[in-house]
Chain A
Amino acid sequence: MSADYDLYVPGSSLLHRLDPRVKLLLVLETVIWLFLFSHIATALTALLITHVLILGAGIPGRHLRRVWRLMLPLTLLIPILWWIFQPGVGPAVLTLGPIRLTWDALLQGTMVALRLDAMAFIMFLWLFTTDQATMVRGLAALGLPYTWSLTLSLALRYIPTIAELYQQVVDAQRARGLDLDTGSFWRRLRAHEPILVAVIISALRTSQSLAWSMEARGLGAPGIRRTQFRQLHFNRLDWLITATLLILLAGSLLIYRWG
């Protein structure tokens, strides 16, 4: 009944244990590389490495397939649009009606698509190996104000709840003979009114008792400086990887500038 909204795949691999901020740096740096060296070889290498890392972290292959399925439409659409609108110059390798395909365009279109895929995979690498609580803590440690990170964790916590609630209400109203499937578009849209009203009333009820519960547990107690229980700690490995990533980044920038 409950769909899964948490992409996190539990595990204890190196990537799982790494500080979320270090992983975020890895994501950012990979994106920078992909744009600094915009070549099909970079994109392919990044794809290969992310796949190895994800599988190496013990994430089952079906999660990778899920990402590919998600990315497939874009992966196909981008090169085609590229070939149509950026045909490039030079001799045509292939002519399909109005489309004149040059070698250059062929490579560029493919590169742009693969680059996007690589970016998606490095992002998913972060999402697969970082649980939501750590993610929120990571963002808080990077300076996100407490109310923002509380709001973010509430959103992450309650999205599945609201989705379940919505399904319950749909079921309850259909059981009372509400027909959501026939008639014109407008009729069907109007048929959702009883569902939305009931969902909103229920959600308001939940949020009211949620607010009471937070207040009862001292949220906003006057004259007290809030502490934070889980502070993220960089261990030696985190430092080592951060340093390596930063050196690599500096090196890459140097190569890009003068190489």
Chain B
Amino acid sequence: MPVLRGVDLRVDRGEFVALMGRTGAGKTTLCLSFNGLVPQATGGVIRGRVLVQGRDTRRFPPASFARDVGMVFQDPESQLFQLTVEDEIAFGLENLGVPPDEIDRRIDWALSLVGMEGYRRRSPRRLSGGQMQRIAIAAALATRPALLVLDEPTTHLDPRGKSEVFHSLRHLRQILDCAVVMATQDVEWIVSETHRVAMLLEGRLAFVGGEGDGLDDLREAHWLYEYGIPQVNRIVQVLLPSSIGLSFASIPKVAEALRPARWHPPERGFLPANSPPDGPSVVKVEGLDFVYPNGVRALSGLSLDIKEGEYVALIGPNGAGKSTLARVIMGLLSPTQGRVLVCGQDTRSTPVSQLARLVGYAFQNPDHQIFSPTVREEIAFGPRNVGCTDAEVREIVDAMLARFHLEPLADIPPSILGYGLRRKVAVAAVAAVRPRVLILDEPTGGLDRVSANELLDFVDELHQQGTTIILITHDMTTVAERAHRCIVLVDGRLLFDDTPRQVFDRPDILKAASLMPPPVTRLAQALDAPPEISPILTAEEFLQAWAGGPDDER
């Protein structure tokens, strides 16, 4: 099956093109074709041609394009392979035969482009995700390429890392005139930076458009809404249906188009999004300290009580201790101090294989758990481990396959599926154990908005059936729309524990955790929403409080 079909694209020097589209739309394939890795290293058949600086990428080995094309990949871990930052940057230059003293100058120059002077002798492995990606960008730029290609460079980063990378890109764009092609899902950022948006839809270039600020002239197409700024796209769709391009514009621009503000708060304010259930506690954390064997203190003095049926969002920057807490709850790590009770059982004295019946934990990277020869067996693994009978296992597996529309893939090895599907299989496999508490670690990372919502809708379903959800995420839209409780961790300490509405009303807390309120909240703030309805958390709330909105019957 063709991954790309009849794609025509021309990128000129100095231009910045954002490549958008769903997971599996062919973005990576297109990126890799810019230096001939597709098809030379990946295999496959290519019809038509790709010319870089006039040279056909099929006629020369990919390595020979290193001078013309710099490439930054998604996973920082697998593209920084040297022992020091300077060796990392020198690598490409050495391969091109650049003399040592020139290499030395270029290292300084490339590091200054990404604002990382002073990191020359550091080990890339010990840097944060955002820093690693900045080094990868510096390494790609050191050869002074005519084209910089970035394949979703911020997918694996927390908000702080994301903004680091975006700021570096902004800075270097002011200095260099190289062309940039970036595959990304980050609409909000790209609209203020890019010249053009290229949209891939099932391998076809469905749309290329937007000169300069003219992103508004996007052709009419309903699916375009789905790719706009989350939440804001819905508001544009309803309130400004004639200017579809605005769902891609920046929040200040949308605010401007909506002015003058027509706030018309509902009389009783908003119903509390979800009132917290008052069931028995399922996870009880008491005075928990956790210190890793190497002395790193990951959690300090943490006490929490999570009730049955709650939907808890666990948020905070990378390194705040979120995953460590999840591992302690799962019994994979034993508390240094204090204790954790899961359904009344002390995790210190209960074997993990026992706790696995109560708690399900979907890890951040689906590839850490996928091993079976077929999707069916992958899903059956958990239920079998916790002692379900064959008949039960079959029933559960069939239900999961149906729920996730995975039936046609049931007998295919999950490891060869695309990333979005692997993610689905991994979550289905964990949910198949039917745990009372389900912990999801960044389940939507690397997924497009549509796939992410499919997955989250399934989580909502489990929640409605009574499963307690603990969701680790950096995506504030999800937190605002779905969770009823927010636990904010910073440096291993509990900073805040309340409803999403309370959290997004506290700029100080958000700042300390380097988080931003969801887009609709910021849009409402830009339009000076009255305090009695602030903060607004969802597009539906926004429309309810806006005079002339579709729900306005007054």
Given that A216-B71, A217-B139 are contacting pairs, would A176 and B367 also be in contact in the complex, using a CB cutoff of 8 Å?
no
Q: Is B368 in contact with A218, judged by CB distance below 8 angstroms?
A: no
Give the residues from 409 to 437 in chain B that come closer than 8 angstroms, CB to CB, to chain A: 415, 429-430, 433
Select B140's contact among A6, A160, A217, beta carbons within 8 Å.
A217
Q: Is there a chain B Cβ closer than 8 Å to A250's Cβ? A: no
Q: Is B62 in contact with A226, judged by CB distance below 8 angstroms?
A: no
Q: Is A218 in contact with B363, judged by CB distance below 8 angstroms?
A: no
Given that A175-B356, A201-B367, A222-B64 are contacting pairs, would A229 and B37 also be in contact in the complex, using a CB cutoff of 8 Å?
no
Closest to A181 in B: B351
Q: Is there a chain A Cβ closer than 8 Å to B125's Cβ? A: yes
Q: Is there a chain A Cβ closer than 8 Å to B61's Cβ? A: yes
Q: Is there a chain A Cβ closer than 8 Å to B67's Cβ? A: yes
Indicate the size class of the contact surface on chain A: 35 or more
Chain B residues lying within 8 Å of A195, measured Cβ to Cβ, are: 371
Q: Is there a chain B Cβ closer than 8 Å to A70's Cβ? A: no
Q: Is A160 in contact with B79, judged by CB distance below 8 angstroms?
A: no
Given that A131-B83, A171-B363 are contacting pairs, would A216 and B62 also be in contact in the complex, using a CB cutoff of 8 Å?
yes
Chain B residues lying within 8 Å of A52, measured Cβ to Cβ, are: none
Select A198's contact among B82, B294, B367, beta carbons within 8 Å.
B367
Instruction: Give the Cβ gap from B24 to chain A, nearest Cβ, in Å.
Output: 16
Q: Is there a chain B Cβ closer than 8 Å to A32's Cβ? A: no
C-alpha gap A226/B98 in the complex (Å): 8
Instruction: Give the Cβ gap from A244 to chain B, nearest Cβ, in Å.
Output: 29
Q: Is B63 in contact with A156, judged by CB distance below 8 angstroms?
A: no
Q: Is there a chain B Cβ closer than 8 Å to A245's Cβ? A: no
Chain B residues lying within 8 Å of A224, measured Cβ to Cβ, are: 95-97
Given that A171-B332, A177-B353, A217-B91 are contacting pairs, would A225 and B97 also be in contact in the complex, using a CB cutoff of 8 Å?
yes
C-alpha gap A215/B481 in the complex (Å): 43
C-alpha gap A215/B61 in the complex (Å): 9
Q: Is A206 in contact with B415, judged by CB distance below 8 angstroms?
A: no
Closest to A179 in B: B353
C-alpha gap A2/B386 in the complex (Å): 30
- What is the interface size of chain B, counting residues whose CB is below 8 A from a CB of the partner? 76
Q: Is there a chain A Cβ closer than 8 Å to B352's Cβ? A: yes
Q: Is there a chain A Cβ closer than 8 Å to B381's Cβ? A: yes
Q: Is A161 in contact with B125, judged by CB distance below 8 angstroms?
A: yes
Instruction: Give the Cβ gap from B404 to chain A, nearest Cβ, in Å.
Output: 17
Closest to B298 in A: A1
Chain A residues lying within 8 Å of B139, measured Cβ to Cβ, are: 217
Q: Is there a chain B Cβ closer than 8 Å to A205's Cβ? A: yes
Closest to A136 in B: B83
Q: Is A218 in contact with B381, judged by CB distance below 8 angstroms?
A: no
Q: Is there a chain B Cβ closer than 8 Å to A213's Cβ? A: yes
Q: Is there a chain A Cβ closer than 8 Å to B87's Cβ? A: yes
Chain B residues lying within 8 Å of A176, measured Cβ to Cβ, are: 356, 360, 369, 381-382, 385, 429-430, 433
Chain A residues lying within 8 Å of B41, measured Cβ to Cβ, are: 211-212, 215
Give the residues from 198 to 223 in chain A that come closer than 8 angstroms, CB to CB, to chain B: 198, 201-202, 205-207, 209-222
Q: Is A161 in contact with B77, judged by CB distance below 8 angstroms?
A: yes
Chain A residues lying within 8 Å of B369, measured Cβ to Cβ, are: 169, 172-173, 176, 198
Q: Is there a chain A Cβ closer than 8 Å to B299's Cβ? A: no
Give the residues from 104 to 143 in chain A that come closer than 8 angstroms, CB to CB, to chain B: 131-133, 136
21 A-B residue contacts at CB 8 Å?
A: A1-B294, A3-B294, A131-B84, A153-B87, A160-B125, A175-B363, A176-B369, A176-B382, A177-B382, A178-B385, A181-B353, A201-B370, A211-B41, A217-B95, A221-B61, A225-B97, A226-B94, A227-B98, A227-B103, A230-B90, A231-B100
Complex A-B, nearest 10 residue pairs according to Cβ-Cβ distance, in ascending order: A218-B66, A177-B385, A218-B95, A177-B356, A217-B92, A197-B371, A229-B90, A133-B83, A213-B79, A175-B361
Residues of A with Cβ closer than 8 Å to B? Answer: 1-4, 6, 131-133, 136, 153-154, 156-158, 160-161, 165, 168-169, 171-179, 181-182, 193-195, 197-198, 201-202, 205-207, 209-222, 224-231
**Inter-chain pairs besides A212-B41, A215-B63, A218-B67, 14 sampled, C-beta below 8 Å:** A131-B83, A153-B83, A165-B368, A174-B353, A175-B359, A177-B356, A202-B365, A202-B368, A213-B79, A216-B62, A216-B63, A219-B63, A221-B64, A227-B93
